[in-house]
Amino acid sequence: MNFTKFGAGILVLCQLTSALAQVAGPASPRRDATVMAVEKAYRTVVNISTERIVARGYRDPFEDLIYEFYGYRRAPKAYTSYSLGSGVVVEPGGYIVTNQHVVERASKITVTTTDGTKHEGRYINGSAKNDLAVLKIEPKAPLQAIELAADGDLLLGETIIALGDPYGLENTISRGVLSAKNRKATWEGEVVFEDMLQTDAAINPGNSGGPLINLDGKLIGINTAIVAEAQGIGFAIPVKRVRQMLGELLSLEKGKGVWFGAQVTQREGRVEIASVQKGSPAEAASLRTGDVVQQVDGEPVRDVVDFQGRLLRKAAGQTVTVGFARGEKQFKARVQLAAVPKVSGAELAWQKLGLRLQPLTREIADELGVSVGQGVVVVDVDRNGPAWDVGARRGLVVARVGGMDVRGETELAAALAEVATGDSVTLTVYTSVRRGRYVIQNADNVRVKAR
């Protein structure tokens, strides 16, 4: 063996390794999987602050006497309630998911991104039952969006990370493990959810709506609740339910007023057409229930969130090309998008529910002891309609229809537009109960089957 050549070869190899190390930078054990996961997801997290005008329930003991004799009632004093929460960007155009309870009945929503930029947040859609809501901001440039993990990609004991803004401490990171799956969440003795994720990662007030991620930096859940009496017991909505709900909440019709006319769902990793509206652009393009969507404008579709996100970049009058499979055959459909047909929300409420609704005026709100922006008031009920059968009467205040807050005509129309005959609609209503000098507002959920 020629040791001289061998030694020279070793020297060249060492010099090459040294040069590569200088280019790549020194490896550090500090930059582990947790750090890399945070780096991947960090800029998708946002801070959400809300303001809500709340009417005080207190009345002067002589208030009723004055009203009886003079027909005058003073407006209840109101105050502004502030709250903080978190959210996560799910679409680069500025669509954000958070908890419904974070933005519920907010009169003003401010969204702050990780670079400190503040945006006015617009409530798009929400589901009180699933405690998820979608907001929209208008960024100057596309935002970084979180990547969703596969529905069943959850390992008990794996390291997970909670991101958010607890107690207003922006961009806070906590680490723990996935403690359990399919936990039942109860409220006042009633089972609310049966599929919650449990973690010992620190979750505090203000973390609500923020992402729970795995070491791949992918979303596995939305942080939602804690057990107040315990330490290290927090809960998150699983990614499977997040994905399902975003398929509905990221509606092109409700988000931008653009009509596609087909609902999609995800089954076994496939995006399928679940329903097609009569007379819609989707029907005109020959899309059918059961078609498996594979591409949008030539680009592969990962899931329902990806599908809805691509449609949200379109405007009325534009064409979207949908590649899909029907059985063993492959097809392409060119769908000409249109503006959503304008239908009166008041007319829909009467046709489908048998309710005549109108926005709360200051006088009516004062009389009922609620705030003006708290909902719409029932002024008439069809005695032969479905709402009458479940106890709806004049003077009832409807705050939410099918999971969407309603303050006027626009929200009412959006909430009822896709409700078909026979569908059950959940109405959240307020009733005022007078006890001495206080007016106590109770919120109840009423299920009405549309006619």
Q: Taking CA 319 as the corner, what is the angle to CA 123 and CA 255, rounded to the nearest 5 degrees?
A: 5
The three-state secondary structure class of 219 is strand
> What secondary structure letter does DSSP report for 150?
P
Is 49 among the catalytic positions? no
Catalytic residue among 101, 165, 200, 306: 101
> What secondary structure letter does DSSP report for 361?
P
- Angstrom distance (rounded) from CA 257 to CA 64: 46
Helices (H), 143-192: none
Question: CB-side exposure of 223: number of CA atoms within 13 Å?
Answer: 34
213 bridge partner residues: 161, 219
Is 131 among the catalytic positions? yes
Catalytic residue among 127, 131, 179, 280: 131
Q: First and final CA of the chain: distance in angstroms?
A: 93
Which amino acid is present at 25? G
Strand ranges of the sheet holding 132-136, from the earlier edge strand across to the other edge: 118-120, 108-112, 45-55, 78-91, 95-98, 132-136, 122-127
Catalytic residue among 208, 251, 280, 371: 208
Residue 412 burial (10 A CB sphere; 0-12, 13-18, 19+) = buried
Is 32 among the catalytic positions? no
Positions marked active-site:
101, 131, 208
